[in-house]
Amino acid sequence: MAYSTLNLETIIAYVRNHEQSAQYLNPNSDLEVQEIGDGNLNLVWRVFERENRSRSILLKQGLPYLRAAGESWPLSPDRARFEAQALELQHRFASGLIPKPYWFDADMLVNAMEDLTEHQVLRRPMMAGHQFVGLGETIGKFCAKVLFGTSDFAMRPDEKRDLQSQFRNSELCKITEDLIFTEPYMNQAWHGLEIRNRFNPIIEADVTHMQHDSDLKAQVAALKYRFMTHAEALIHGDLHTGSIMARVGTAPDETPDIRVIDPEFAFFGPIGFDLGAFIANLFLSSASHLAHSKTVEARAAYRSYLYDQARACWQAFTTEFMTQFAATNSPSWTSQDFQAMFLRDVLRDLTGFAGAKMIRRIVGFAHVADLEGIANLEHRAHCEAKALELGRKLIMHHSRINQFEDVIDLALEILPVDTQ
Amino acid sequence: MAYSTLNLETIIAYVRNHEQSAQYLNPNSDLEVQEIGDGNLNLVWRVFERENRSRSILLKQGLPYLRAAGESWPLSPDRARFEAQALELQHRFASGLIPKPYWFDADMLVNAMEDLTEHQVLRRPMMAGHQFVGLGETIGKFCAKVLFGTSDFAMRPDEKRDLQSQFRNSELCKITEDLIFTEPYMNQAWHGLEIRNRFNPIIEADVTHMQHDSDLKAQVAALKYRFMTHAEALIHGDLHTGSIMARVGTAPDETPDIRVIDPEFAFFGPIGFDLGAFIANLFLSSASHLAHSKTVEARAAYRSYLYDQARACWQAFTTEFMTQFAATNSPSWTSQDFQAMFLRDVLRDLTGFAGAKMIRRIVGFAHVADLEGIANLEHRAHCEAKALELGRKLIMHHSRINQFEDVIDLALEILPVDTQ
């Protein structure tokens, strides 16, 4: 079947005709469809039985352009294949921590998967101060399982190289290279390179200052180079709090079911990148709670929660990694001194990447609702300036970090729990 | 045409029938063939006109097994394609510093190229104390041109990723991973892994001591991990003094024509690896001249020459790299602080890799004639113990090296110019 964009009229016929759908839905029942896409790159629908709404599937179709920018920003729909392959590998190593993949239709660029009807994306509940028990631990474990499983510690080198060449996700890598590591640090066009920065005009002086900070720019170039050359494992590539879902309505002390979604940026990159993205988002949330929390006490409590999640993430990551290291058969990786050096390097990388991820959300093209959602521009600027400062500190200190508490200390210096 | 091994009987007909040969030879003339292969992986012939021996071509055919080990070590003949692709890229960025490639026959796995009749491989003349003017400078320049040209500093990321996936040279990478980074550090079989170490029995105590040195083994594991994951540029992969030829009969003060050959190990790896291999071979030569030099004065002169070549190599490499950096259009790489950090990291990598390359030639499967050629086992052991000690030092110090002279200082400590 040739590619065509599905719509509310055609999607049910598509599902009924797809042979694998009968495993998940009764194709002869009355089916309903609901469009739920809010992503940048895809159309997303839920198709369910009218009589039994819990019997449903989620379908995601790749668009040939970046939705946020309209058809003026064309994108190869190959990324639907990258997402399918990434879901398959993530499911192999961390099943239960992503939506279960059902099928991939290479002609129609449709990924069908488990529909998480009781889950919601974390970002907005986090703006409202909701605490998800076990969040950091789950993400740390997810990262460790997928990253170890697809690394040279677990895979045969030829198998890894073959996978790596399947994941030549150049187009989406270029988005990261440009929007995270290049454009935020430029205040004027350069040899025809378009600069798509957007920022709150109130922080313009901070932004300009940052764009002239040559020490910072050298460190960011080094991080970009590592992103482009360190092919360590299959990274998610966009692991922010908008790429994580949790089941709502769980009792407050119960760990909710947490899932990582949307791996279309996946490729073989540096192991610290996903951890850095997640921790950057915790710190952006911390900055935004200067505005979102109604009281000093509420803010203190939420920041404590966020920093605990960051700690738990690193703790769970290292615990899982060490467990898997202990089971390796390769004589090279059994050295405990090597393992400690390796984890220290991941920690340094994650710190630098976290800083770059924070800065791009304030100065670059794509922002986060945590900060964009603060209506008062002065309040917003206050939060943004703090986040920018922390981002810079993380980058400037990253190569000297020796333990995770050093990262938390940097956050506490600028976004403390109990004062301001 | 289906693959078949060429031989002295069939090669002339093969050349006459190949349409491109007429550019280099008169196919109607009387042709002669000479087998000159002494490599491990290939058959190599020179085909020339009987009446005009300077009109000649070199043909190299891939064998489906490792020649040194016989048919018991099968190898995919894919490496003939890797060599063809590597020659093409090296020729693009550093023409004149390799034999000019003429054609690649994918069916017969034949690479035809310029025949360097007046050149000889460096290793044996170096054992005899011959000084090649400009050696270090040429190799430094060769490395810089090819490595910069195939790096993210010069290539579009998608172009580099496509090339990288063409160079999935897993089989030859595995030889490096096993023979350089794994087996020399093991003194017994491990989970079915075969250990192919060979060493002079007189140094057994040194070898055993090294194989129990957990600090060293942790650093070697880190180097191996970098070799496997840092996909920076198209490295030659086996740049020892047996992979370099120079025209003999040049006047003593004239720079001889120097060419790098045999890139079948090429793949996208760490930029410091080739420089490390070359410098390791200079240092191995230095160690071997404890025996090869007839007098203390001759040894002092040769060691001075070798260390000067090492310095000139790094100097030429950095000069060429900085020149190319200065011409880059990418805003990320223009930061001089970044460039300095990058070159410092290359220097550290090359130091570590040089150490690993030295050790493998003494303890591992494949040795070098510089040391194997010392008939007296006691004298040989003395040289080998020194080389082993320097290899260890280079590895243990590599992450703290800040300037190239630090590397020379380590060499001078163990293999001084003017004493012993």
Residue of chain A with shortest Cα separation from B399: A341
Sequence-distant (≥ 6) Cβ neighbours of residue B240 within 8 angstroms: B123, B277, B278, B280, B281, B357, B368
pTM: 0.96
CB contact under 8 A, B218 and A162: no
Q: Across the interface, which of B157, B182, B229 has its CB nearest the CB of A232?
A: B229
Contacts of A193 in chain B (CB under 8 A): 331
Tokens of A318: 């290292």
A264–chain B nearest CA distance, Å: 17
Residue of chain B with shortest Cα separation from A214: B335
B199–chain A nearest CA distance, Å: 21
Question: What's residue B66's pLDDT?
Answer: 66
Contacts of A152 in chain B (CB under 8 A): 225, 228-229
CB contact under 8 A, B157 and A165: no
With 60 as the cut, is the pLDDT of residue B420 above it? no
What residue has token string 């942790």?
B218
Contacts of A234 in chain B (CB under 8 A): none
Rounded Cα distance, B406 and A166, in Å: 42
> Averaged over B46-68, what is the pLDDT?
88
Terminal alpha carbon distance of chain A:
60
Q: Does A3 touch chain B (CB under 8 A)?
A: no
Under a CB-based contact definition with an 8 Å cutoff, are residues B26 and B49 in contact? Answer: yes
pLDDT along chain A (420 residues), means of 10: 87 93 91 82 92 94 73 75 96 98 95 94 95 97 98 96 93 94 90 88 97 97 98 98 90 88 96 98 97 94 98 98 94 96 98 98 95 96 98 98 98 87
Contacts of A396 in chain B (CB under 8 A): none
Nearest CA to A261 out of A243, A241, A281, A238 is that of: A243
> Averaged over B364-392, what is the pLDDT?
97
Sequence-distant (≥ 6) Cβ neighbours of residue A326 within 8 angstroms: none
Q: Does B114 touch chain A (CB under 8 A)?
A: no
pLDDT tens readout for residues B229-265: 999 999 999 999 999 999 977 787 788 999 999 999 9
Question: What's residue A27's pLDDT?
Answer: 83
CB contact under 8 A, A170 and B158: yes
Contacts of A162 in chain B (CB under 8 A): 168
Rounded Cα distance, B18 and B4, in Å: 15
Helical (H) or strand (E) element with A125: helix A123-127
Tokens of B124: 């044996």
Q: Does A213 touch chain B (CB under 8 A)?
A: no
With 60 as the cut, is the pLDDT of residue B24 above it? yes
Mean pLDDT score of chain B, rounded to an integer? Answer: 94
Pick the range with the lowest mean pLDDT from A108-122, A228-242, B8-22, B72-86: B72-86
DSSP annotation of A155 reads S
Total residue length of chain B: 420
> Averaged over B221-228, what is the pLDDT?
98
pLDDT top residue among B69 and B133: B133
Q: Output the CA angle A378-A384-A387, nearest 5 degrees.
A: 150
Q: Across the interface, which of A162, A171, A193 has its CB nearest the CB of B331?
A: A193
Under a CB-based contact definition with an 8 Å cutoff, are residues B90 and B97 in contact? Answer: yes
Burial of B267 (0-12, 13-18, 19+ CB in 10 A): buried
Can you tell me whether residue A374 is helix, strand or coil?
A: coil
Contacts of B164 in chain A (CB under 8 A): 165
Question: What's residue A68's pLDDT?
Answer: 63
CB contact under 8 A, B157 and A177: yes
Contacts of A224 in chain B (CB under 8 A): 332
Between chain A and chain B, the number of residue pairs with CB atoms below 8 A apart is 109
CB contact under 8 A, A170 and B157: yes
Question: What's residue A69's pLDDT?
Answer: 65
Can you tell me whether residue B46 is helix, strand or coil?
A: strand
Nearest CA to B357 out of B251, B249, B239 is that of: B239
Question: What's residue B153's pLDDT?
Answer: 98
> Averaged over B175-198, what is the pLDDT?
90
Tokens of B266: 């090429």
DSSP string, B140-208: HHHHHHHHHHTSTTTS-HHHHHHHHHHT--HHHHHHHHHHHHTGGG-SS-BTTB-------GGGHHHHH
Strand order in the sheet with B258-260: B119-121, B244-247, B258-260
CB contact under 8 A, B218 and A335: yes
Q: Across the interface, which of B173, B182, B329 has its CB nearest the CB of A332?
A: B182
Backbone angles phi, psi at A258, to 5 degrees: -120, 135
DSSP string, A314-363: HHHHHHHHHHHHHT---GGGG-HHHHHHHHHHHHHHHHHHHHHHHHHHHH
Contacts of A341 in chain B (CB under 8 A): 218, 222
Q: Does B212 touch chain A (CB under 8 A)?
A: no
Question: What's residue A248's pLDDT?
Answer: 79
Greatest alpha-carbon pair distance for chain B in Å reads 64
Question: What's residue B70's pLDDT?
Answer: 64
**pLDDT-based confidence at residue B192 (cuts at 50, 70, 90):** confident
Q: Does A181 touch chain B (CB under 8 A)?
A: yes
Chain B residues 231-250 with CB within 8 Å of chain A: 231-232
Residue of chain A with shortest Cα separation from B333: A221
Cβ neighbours around B141 below 10 Å, total = 22
Q: Does A217 touch chain B (CB under 8 A)?
A: yes
Under a CB-based contact definition with an 8 Å cutoff, are residues B11 and B47 in contact? Answer: yes
Q: Are strands A233-235 and A267-269 parallel, antiparallel or unpaired?
A: antiparallel
**pLDDT-based confidence at residue B135 (cuts at 50, 70, 90):** very high
Q: Does A182 touch chain B (CB under 8 A)?
A: yes
> Averaged over B6-30, what is the pLDDT?
92
**pLDDT-based confidence at residue B418 (cuts at 50, 70, 90):** confident
CA R_g for chain B: 21
CA R_g for chain A: 21
Q: Is the ipTM of this complex over 0.90?
A: yes
Report how many helices (DSSP H) and strands (DSSP E) chain B contains, helices first: 14, 10
pLDDT tens readout for residues B352-363: 999 999 999 999
Burial of A78 (0-12, 13-18, 19+ CB in 10 A): middle
> Averaged over B391-407, what is the pLDDT?
98
**pLDDT-based confidence at residue B28 (cuts at 50, 70, 90):** confident
Tokens of A235: 């990274």
Contacts of A342 in chain B (CB under 8 A): 222, 225
Q: Across the interface, which of B214, B222, B337 has its CB nearest the CB of A215?
A: B337
Please report the beta strands in B303-365, taking only residues with DSSP state E, as ranges in sequence order. none
CB contact under 8 A, A329 and B215: no
Question: What's residue B34's pLDDT?
Answer: 94
Question: What's residue B58's pLDDT?
Answer: 96
With 80 as the cut, is the pLDDT of residue B71 above it? no
Q: Does B164 touch chain A (CB under 8 A)?
A: yes
